[in-house]
Chain A
Amino acid sequence: MSALLACPKCRAWLLEGVFNRPDLGPCPSCGIPLEIEVFPAFFREISPGQSAQPVMVEGESSCFFHPQKKAVVPCAGCGRFLCALCDCEFGKEHFCPACLEAGKSKGKIKALDNQRTRYDNIALALALLPFLIFYFTIVTAPMTLYVAIRYWNAPRGAVQKSRIRFILAIIIAVLQIGGWTTFFILVATKHT
C-alpha cells in the first residue's frame, strides 16, 4: 500500500487540509468535501517475518514440521513444537498451520469464522413464503419443522443470538400442519 492517501474522487494525493479535522473540508484538487481520519497505524512499518533458526546443538528441540529448524514455541492446539516459520500467532496464542486450518473449518476459532449459513432464516422463509400459494404449505410445513429441529443447535449469526426465528417458524409450521390435519379430518368425516 502507498504511504500517501489519495482523494477518492480525483485520485490526487492529499498532503494536508483534510486530515483529522472535526468536519468535512474540501479536497485541494477537486474541491469535493472530505474528512479523513488518519491513525498512527498508517505510518507504521510492516515488520518482515521471522526466519527459522537451524538447530545448532545436538538434542535441541526442533520443529515438528522442519526437524532441522529450532523450535521456538509449542502449538496451543496440538502441542507440537514449532519453528518461527510454522508459528502462526493468533491473538495471544500460537498455532501450527494445521490447527489453524482445523479451527477455521470446524468453527472452533471464532475470530476466523467469516461465513455462516442462517438456518433460522431458511426455516422462517420456508414457513412464511408459501403463504403466497397456500397449497405449498402441505410440503413446506414439515420441511420447516425438519430444518428448525435439525439445525436448532447450529451456530446462528455472529451478531444474532436468539432462536426467535426458529421458534416463530416452528409455531407457524405447527399451525399449518394443524390446519391441514383439521382439513383432512373434516373431509374424511364429511365423506363418511
Chain B
Amino acid sequence: MDEANYKRLTRERTPRQFTIATVSRVSLWLGGDHLLLVERSGFTETYKRFYFRDIQAITIQKTSRRSVWNGVLAVPLAICLFGLVVSLTSPRNTTGMVVSSILVTLTLIPFLLNNLRGPACACQLRTAVQTEDLGSLSRVRQTQKVLEKIRPLIVAAQGSLSPEEVAARMHQAASPQLGATPTEAPPASAPPVLS
C-alpha cells in the first residue's frame, strides 16, 4: 500500500467527549486495503491499521452529547440574548448593542453548528482481537456517510450478510449458551442473554 494513497475520512478531533483542549487528536483515513486510525499526541503520531478482511463489526451508538452541549451552550447564549434585548430597548446605547450583537453571534455559531451536525454518536470497530473506539466519528450522519464509503470495500473483501442471516447465526451461536447446564453457565459478571 503506497502511503500517498490515503484518503481522509474524518477531520482530526479529540477522542474523548467534552474535551476542549487536549494533547491527543484522532483522525480516520482510507487506504487501499485498510482503514488507518491516526492518533496525534504532541509531536508523535501513532497508527492503527484495520484491514478490511479483519473487520468483524462496526457499532454506532447514539449518545446524548448533542443535548448536553446544547445545555452548556444555551446558558451563555441566553445571557447574551438578554444583553442584546436590554441594549436594544435602551436608547443611544450603540456600543452596548454592537458588543451584545458580537457576543450573541459568537455564542450562536457553536450552538447552531452543534445542532446542524445532527445527533451525536459513539462508534466502535471490532476485530477478532480488539474493540477500538473510533473517536473521530462523533455524529450519526457523518458516521453513516463514512460507513457507506467503507462498506463496499469490506464486502468486497469478505462478502455480505443480510439482517436475517446475522440474526440466525447469532441465535445459533447463542443456543449452546442458552442451553448450557448450570455448571457450564457463564459467570455472574457475564452479560445476560436476551431471548
Contacts and interface: CB of A to CB of B under 8 A. Distances in A.
A13 B174 contact: yes
A15 to B, nearest CB: 5
Contacts of A42: 56-57, 126
Interface in A106-165: 110-111, 113-119, 121-122, 125, 157-159, 161
B167 A33 contact: no
Where chain B touches its partner, the secondary structure class is mixed
A170 B1 CA distance: 31
Given A36-B57, A42-B57, A158-B3, A116 B44 contact: yes
Contacts of B169: 43
A119 B45 CA distance: 11
A47 to B, nearest CB: 11
Contacts of A85: none
Given A8-B122, A8-B124, A40-B159, A114 B57 contact: no
A29 B194 CA distance: 7
Given A1-B128, A15-B194, A42-B56, A24 B47 contact: no
Given A14-B170, A16-B167, A161 B57 contact: no
Interface string A64-96: 000000000000000000000000000000000
Given A37-B147, A116-B44, A8 B55 contact: no
A7 to B, nearest CB: 8
A148 to B, nearest CB: 14
B48 A114 contact: yes
5 contacts: A8-B59, A12-B193, A15-B167, A34-B59, A38-B56
Given A4-B193, A35-B144, A111-B49, 11 more contacts: A12-B191, A15-B170, A19-B167, A29-B194, A33-B62, A34-B59, A34-B61, A39-B57, A41-B128, A110-B3, A118-B45
Interface of A: 1, 3-6, 8-9, 11-17, 19-21, 24, 28-29, 32-44, 46, 110-111, 113-119, 121-122, 125, 157-159, 161
